[in-house]
Structure 1
Amino acid sequence: MFPETLVEGEAAMAVQSPPSQPSNVQRLAEPSQLLKTAIVHLINYQDDAELATRAVPELTKLLADDDPVVVNKAAMIVNQLTRKEASRRVLVQSSSMVAAVVRAMTTAVDMETARCAASVLHSLSHQREGLNAIFKSGGIPALVRMLSSPVESVLFYAITTLHNLLLHQEGAKMAVRLADGLQRMVPLLKKSNPKFLAITTDCLQLLSYGNQESKLIILANGGPEGLVFIMRNYNYEKLLWTTSRVLKVLSVCPSNKPAIVESGGMQSLGQHLTGSSQRLIQNCLWTLRNLSDAATKQEGLDGLLQILVTQLGSDDVNMLTCATGILSNLTCNNSRNKTLVTQFGGVESLIHAVLRAGEKEDVAEPAVCALRHLTSRHQDAELAQNAVRLHYGVPAVVKLLGQPHYWPVVKATVGLIRNLALCPANQAPLREAGAIPRLVNLLLKAHQDTQRHASSAQQTYQDGVRMEEIVEGCTGALHILARDPINRGEIASMQTIPLFVQLLYSYVENVKRVSAGVLCELALDKQSAELIDAEGASAPLMELLHSNNEGIATYAAAVLFRISEDKSSDYRKRVSVELTHSLFKHDPAAWEMVSISIHLVYPRPAPNESRKLAPADPRDLDKRELAGLKMDGWMDYKTDISKTFL
């Protein structure tokens, strides 16, 4: 029970009991043995502390010796002392000792001395007092210089110590930047040790977060290329995670963004979206979301697009936010990506995302924008327009126009409705879902807002959206909906014609174009044509005939033709001359020939004689097609959605 009482050389009596079942004597001996061990450790701790206390003054002098051999031996001894906690605490409390170690590392003429000194600082950096002592002793510039060492162990000690300082020491980040630490760290991305790279990339993240100058230094030293290379070629999860964190920070920098994309960042980040590490997937998604507005022309994203469509089924709101945002930007003005997403079942998935989004604008807006892109200007646009209806998306889309208004969502929805209306089969479902009254109400509200601020030079913004854009969008959507006779009657019955005529005077050219376009459709009905004429539309339409905008001039011509059908022969002739002059104003020879033919075709009528013009097809007014009737959707627009300042 008390083996220490045995005479030296004697053996303790063997206990007859199986090893798995200790005897009562053995169980009673355990506490005394633990107590003995603790006492021995305490004595050793005190001995270590006393030894270090006595040795520190002499070792400090030896570290400053002129003889490199003496300095080397002293550094080795100090390194041994830091292996034990008691002596390490004593060393930390001596600022002169820490300063001597820093100086020895800086002036070392042999790699072994530098290695021992770097090891000492590394050991001290695991304690808060040690970090403070290193910082106050000028250790950061010295450690930064060590990042150029050819010795791997010195590099490891230096980067790890700097990492600890960046994490826990106030003022360390600025000190590292001032010591040109970033310029030394970025080239280290070419190293091959995954654990070393993980520490290095984490240092880059700590230094660049919230500091634009650091981001630009990383860019100038080739950081994006090195980081993308790591994402493409390594599979160590911690390294991939720390690297993705740096890329996430850099992805909100306008200068770094294109550099990351051009280095293949979209493809490299995309290859990690199907892994098992959720933290890595989240970082990759946010980074892709931030980069996506700079990657609309990138090729080779087929696999990424397919993965993103799959992720639209996620219940994770962050994943849904990112997937919809990325798809919205990657389908902007890229017909190939639009076709691919449509073929991958993107329309149905986006509709489900809209339904699940509820009041989450960060999901609803990009999802609707993506649908708007998919329903226009690519080979499968009509397929996408039909798919929205077939997957019961029309009511969900129209519902987004209701209160409360979040204007970016409204703007995207209006554009989507316009595109959907291009498909004849969607006209009735849109009407039945209540699209027309909602569009008219939005138009009235937006127009009233613009009128209230008309006296000031500033444009009317709500949630970052100009109200003139809402006016243009709603009018454009009603223009396409008016192609259907029933819709045409409903639009006219809501007292909209006076407003459309008023919009002909707008200072915004696109508003003039769409208002002339909707009047062109409404004028197909005789009653509406009479109302248009009664509202005094002829005067602004005559003026718009001379517009340099081809669409405006052609629509104005069409409306004038339609409202002049029941007018006198003189009036029709005057309109005809004005139209022809406008349409051929850039071709004097053609104008001369046409002006002669007009007098032949339209001789002055005899008294009480009238000549009725045949209804004119607007497309026959000119060799040009009616601008707008051939337009198959609003122009796509991409969004810089890297909102978080990093």
Structure 2
Amino acid sequence: VYSEAVSKMSTFRSSYREATTPTGASAAAGPVNFSASLDRQSVSMDTLNRQMHRGRAVRVRQALFPETVGAEAEQMAGLETLTRGRRRLPTSVQQLAEPAQILRTAVVNLINYQEDADVALHAAAELARLLGSSDPVTCQRAASLTLQLSKKQACRLAFAVQVDLIEALLIVVQTAQSVEALRFAVGALCHICQAEQGCATVYQCGRVRAVPELLRLLGSTDVRTRNYALTCLHHLLVHLEEVRNEARMASGAQVLSELLLSIVSTSWQQASVSSPPPPMSPPLSAASTGSGSEAQQQQQKLMAVCIDSLQLLAFANQESKLVLLSCGAVDQLVNLLLTSRYEKLLFSTSRLLKVLSVEPSCKSAILAAGGMTALGRHLKSTGSERLVMNVLWTIRNLSDQAFTLNQPLDQLLVDLIGLLASPDIDCVTCAAGILCNLTCRNRRNKFVVTSSGGAGALSQTLLAAQDREEIAEPLMCALRHITHDHEQACAAADAVLSHGLACTLGELLHRAAVVADATTVGVGVSVANDEPGGPAASRPLVKAALGLCRNLSLHAAGRAALHAESVPAAASAIAAATLARGIDALLDDAGSIASAGGADDGVRAEEVLEAALACLHSLAGEGDGETDPIEARRQRDAVAAAVRSRPGLPDSVAELAAGGVVGSSCVGPAGDLLERLATANAATGSTSATLQRRPAVELTDEQQQQRHLSDRSSVLDVPDVSVRPYRYDPERSGATLPVNYAAQLPPSYHTYQQEQQLQPEPPQHWYSTAKI
């Protein structure tokens, strides 16, 4: 082992000598200098370190001050691999580059902002003095400098509190001799009024009133001066309520209307010269927010500002709305909806139409100009949700008269049905209210809604939103409308029943019956929301539910489903309790039954009572075996006592009291009903005759003839609505039609002529979004 180790050591030494011994040119140079080699290595390391430090500095400067780094950054780009590593992840400096740039820009802007504010503050007094100079050139140059400074935010805010400067500008506006000086002064005021403080200072200047002067300048021949004046006036109207009142007193609505007509006329002339626009533009989409040349877009912007100013003046002011109507602005607004694709213009137009749509005369003008069709085109606008909502509210306000239109609204109805599935609760609320109104007394609209799957969509939405009464009420009314008096009424009723809506109706009416029986004041009494059965419904919702039950009970399947849910018992309880309370209040107050319980959201106790009795008329076609005998006896005794013990009641109250007999299928008051057949009141005689057919009372030949004549006179001589202004005619008309006299009715007479119509409510109701 030892000899083997010695051999290896000698071999290693010989190999080392060969490696370290210089050969050829190296031998001639002499022995190797190891110290010099080490010095060269240390120098190269120092150079590399300096390059790395310099590269780091370049990257930092490039991140913070990129404008100071030129070709040096490209030379140092190769050193990034030393710091980024093999995975080539961004360095810390690179990650901080963007925030550092934002911080640097903010600091620079802050420094410049403070400098601008200081300059404007010191220059305001001197500019005010120069604006009051008698030299027109000096005044014009001062106005020009003021305009240039006011374009900067810091200077604008500094000028907003300088009363002397603003007064000097207003004086120049009033007394300027040159067009340029006037334009510069109005432009400076326009920029100053972008701030609310500037608007307040301009309005409070006592020497010159700004609003009349701006209205005067709207008729200027200089386009830029007119544009500045319009924009400045718009800023004042937006920020200050006092300016709106002053502008109304100065005929601002008329001046702005004339300006709008002038701008529209000029815009159409320019468009016709360049390229004639299509008669109807496509709906707005996300990719099309403007169209036309730059001049046309500028005209559209001015129209948007003018229309928004008119909206501010017409808001909550009937006189301004009538001025707009008399100037012919309504037709132009509808035309803009058909031809424009500029989103801001469409939005402003829809807002103004929403304000005008609550005025009856303006509402008729909008409908006559084709407003429903023009508005309906923008329900599918994907580029602006605010436009869609304003269009919906406008259509909602118009829909209480639009159901009388002869023009087809098929596409609008289909779009509204689709909006019922929207996740936006406001959109669903508006769509439900519009469908409710448009299907009122319009057989074509009912047919279109039913044929387009509207019954199923309304039922599904009602099941999903039955706890939200602001949505459930119009949905219930719309279902009540489409389930009778048109060709697809049976299909609509089948769709409602197939969605299990009978159970929902039964639960709602039972809750209302419990409240009515406990308070003896009718339905609509507020109760705690944590009741076992859920919150109590208001009178409008209960009235609509009773009407829907009445329509469903016209079919055998509907009657069976409603009897299974004990709807007759609930309707009887509502009718008995409401009628009992109504008669007591009538005898105590010597008034009408409308005073009983007051009005709940515009629906009185009398209307709910009529709806309940009409529902019972239809449900009486089958036995009342589902009703509890004790409850039925209590109801029967209450109604019979009311009829027998109150012989001196007015005809309207007697008619309602007689109608209560049907719900409990009692024949006790049959004599009273027979006596009322000969009454002079057509409504009372008609209802009494109908009730006599339902209980199957044995009548003599003389009584049969008397009932026959009463039926004929009641149907052919329809009572004047002014005599009975609160009748629930859909149910009552269906109950009073004699079977053997249907052919004698005039062709224009329909069975259910007066459905419940959803009228516009005060702003706090779900129909409106603003105090219009």
Task: Please indicate the TM-score interval, normalised by the length of the shorter structure.
Answer: 0.7 to 0.9
On the 8 A contact 1:475/1:515 being kept in 2, the answer is no
Match of 2:557 in 1: 425
CA 297–70 in structure 1, closer or farther in 2 if over 3 Å, else same: same
Identify the range of structure 1 (365-374 vs 490-499) with the bigger mean alpha-carbon deviation. 490-499
CA deviations on 1:270-311 (whole Å, 9 max, x unpaired) are 111112222221121122112211211122311111011111
1:605 is aligned to none
How far, CA to CA, are the matches of 1:491 and 1:633 in structure 2?
32
Residue equivalent to 1:364: 472
Q: CA deviation at 1:382?
A: 2.2
Contact 2:659–2:687 (CA<8 Å) still a contact in 1? no
> CA 1:491/1:69 → structure 2, altered by over 3 Å: closer, same or farther?
same
Distance 1:85 1:405, change over 3 A: closer
1:449 lines up with 2:581 in the alignment: yes
Pick from 326, 329, 339 the counterpart of residue 434 of structure 2. 326
Cα offset, 1:536, TM superposition: 4.6
Q: Which amino acid aligns with 1:636?
A: E
Question: How big is each residue's C-alpha offset from its partner over 1:387-416, in whole Å with a ceiling of 9 and x where there is no partner?
Answer: 222332222233221321311111111111
1:641 matched to 2:747? The reply is: no
1:173 equivalent in structure 2: 244
Post-superposition shift, 1:126? 3.1
1:616-643 Cα distance to aligned partner (Å, 9 max, x none): xx9699898899xx98658312112343
Deviation at 1:313, TM superposition (A): 1.7
1:220 and 2:363 matched = no
Structure 1 partner of 2:255:
184
1:386-397 equivalence runs, <5 A:
386-397=494-505
Query: Is 1:114 the equivalent of 2:257?
Result: no
Contact 1:619 1:626 survives alignment (8 Å)? no
Q: Could you say which residue in structure 1 is the equivalent of 2:692? A: 559
Report if the CA contact (8 A) 1:418-1:480 is conserved: yes
Given that 2:130 and 2:139 are in contact with CA atoms closer than 8 Å, whether structure 1 keeps it comes out as no
Query: Quick one: distance in 1 between partners of 2:108 and 2:690?
Result: 103
Matched, 1:475 2:613: yes
Distance 1:363 1:39 in 2: 51
Distance 1:540 1:492, change over 3 A: farther
Matched, 1:18 2:81: no
Residue 156 (structure 1) shift: 1.7
Whether contact under 8 Å (1:555, 1:626) holds in the other structure is no
**Partner in structure 2 of residue 591 of structure 1:** none
Cα deviation code 1:162-212 (max 9, x no counterpart): 122223346322232233222221233332422112222222233333333
The alpha-carbon deviation at position 233 of structure 1 amounts to 1.9
Deviation at 1:69, TM superposition (A): 6.1
Distance 1:13 1:510 in 2: 96
Deviations 1:424-477 (A, max 9, x none): 232211111221111111112211221231221152234132222222221221
1:383 equivalent among 483, 491, 497 = 491
> The residue matched to 1:563 in structure 2 has which SS?
coil
Give 3-state SS (helix, strand or coil) of 2:510's partner.
coil
Assess, with a 3 A threshold, how the Cα gap between structure 1 residues 479 and 78 changes in structure 2: closer, same or farther. closer
Aligned residue-pair number? 578
For 2:132, what is the secondary structure of its paired residue? Answer: helix
Shift of 1:580: 7.7
Aligned counterparts of 2:129 and 2:691: Cα–Cα separation in 1: 101
- Per the TM alignment, residue 60 of structure 1 is displaced from its structure 2 partner at its CA by 2.6
Alignment of 1:479-558 (within 5 A): 479-484=617-622, 486-487=623-624, 494-495=632-633, 496-498=635-637, 501=640, 502-503=642-643, 507=650, 509=652, 512=655, 515=658, 532=667, 535-549=668-682, 552-553=685-686, 556=689
Matched with 2:568 is: 436
- The whole-number CA distance in structure 2 between the counterparts of 1:619 and 1:136 is 74
Aligned partner of 2:235 in structure 1 is 164
Q: What is residue 346 of structure 2 aligned with on the other side?
A: 240
Q: 1:263 aligns with which of 340, 363, 369?
A: 369
If asked which structure has higher relative contact order (CA below 8 Å, sep 6+), I would say 1
Q: CA deviation at 1:370?
A: 0.7
- Aligned partners of 1:417, 1:84: CA distance in 2, in Å? 67
Distance in 2, matches of 1:291 and 1:583, equals 38
The residue type paired with residue 292 of structure 1 is: S
- Matching of residues 529-608 of structure 1 within 5 Å: 532=667, 535-549=668-682, 552-553=685-686, 556=689, 559=692, 563-564=697-698, 572=700, 575=703
Compare CA radii of gyration and give the structure with the larger one.
Answer: 2
Identify the residue that residue 394 of structure 2 maps to in structure 1: 287
Q: Determine if contact 2:651/2:684 at 8 Å carries over to the other structure.
A: no
Cα pair distance change 1:642/1:105, threshold 3 Å: same
Q: Is the 8 A contact 1:443 1:474 kept in 2?
A: yes
Task: Name the residue aligned to 2:9.
Answer: none
Aligned counterparts of 1:155 and 1:251: Cα–Cα separation in 2: 29
TM superposition shift of 1:328: 0.6
Q: Structure 1 residues 422, 492: closer, same or farther in 2, change over 3 A?
A: farther
- The CA distance in 1 between the partners of 2:305 and 2:713, in whole Å, is 71
Q: Which amino acid aligns with 1:452?
A: D
Q: Which residue pairs with 1:124 in the alignment? A: 192
* Equivalent-residue separation in structure 1 for 2:688 and 2:114 (angstroms): 99
Question: How far is 1:324 from its partner?
Answer: 0.9
Q: 1:323 to 1:47 in 2, by over 3 A?
A: closer
Q: 1:145 corresponds to which letter in structure 2?
A: R
Show the counterpart of 2:168.
100
For 1:47 and 1:489, how far apart are their aligned partners in 2?
87
Percent identical across equivalent pairs? Answer: 31
What are the within-5 Å matches in structure 2 for residues 125-164 of structure 1? Answer: 125-137=193-205, 138-164=209-235
Q: TM-score, normalised by structure 2?
A: 0.66
1:93–1:326 CA distance, 2 compared to 1 (3 A): closer
CA separation in 2, counterparts of 1:116 and 1:15?
A: 47
- Give the 3-state SS of the residue equivalent to 1:272 in structure 2: coil
Q: Is the 8 A contact 1:92 1:130 kept in 2?
A: yes
Q: Quote the offset at 1:329 in angstroms.
A: 0.6
Larger deviation, residues 74-83 vs 344-353: 74-83
Q: Which moved more, 1:409-418 or 1:165-174?
A: 165-174
Q: So what's the TM-score if we normalise by structure 1? A: 0.77
| Cα distance in 1 between the residues matched to 2:686 and 2:114 | 100
Q: Tell me the SS of whatever aligns to 2:586.
A: coil
Q: SS of the counterpart of 1:171?
A: helix
Would the alpha carbon gap of residues 481 and 633 (structure 1) be closer, same or farther in structure 2, given more than 3 Å must change?
farther
Map 1:3-82 → 2, pairs under 5 A: 16-18=72-74, 45=116, 48-49=119-120, 52=123, 55-56=126-127, 58-62=129-133, 64-65=134-135, 72=140, 75-82=143-150
Match of 1:603 in 2: none
Give the Cα–Cα distance (whole angstroms) in 2 for the partners of residues 355 and 557 of structure 1: 35
C-alpha contact 1:419 1:632 (8 A) present in aligned 2: no
Hey, what does 2:425 align to over in structure 1?
317
Deviations 1:526-547, CA, capped at 9 Å, x for gaps: xx6xx62xx2522441332344
CA shift, 1:312, in A, is 1.3
Counterpart of 1:228 in structure 2: which amino acid?
Answer: V
Give the drift of 1:352. 1.0
Q: What is the Cα-based RMSD across aligned positions, in Å?
A: 4.3
Shift of 1:37: 7.9
- Partners of 1:214 and 1:70 lie apart in 2 by 42
Structure 1 residues 35, 181: closer, same or farther in 2, change over 3 A? closer
State the match for 2:521 in structure 1: none
- Corresponding residue number in structure 2 for 1:196: 302
Look up the equivalent residue of 2:620 and give its one-letter code. A
* Pair 128,22 (structure 1): closer, same or farther in 2 beyond 3 Å: farther
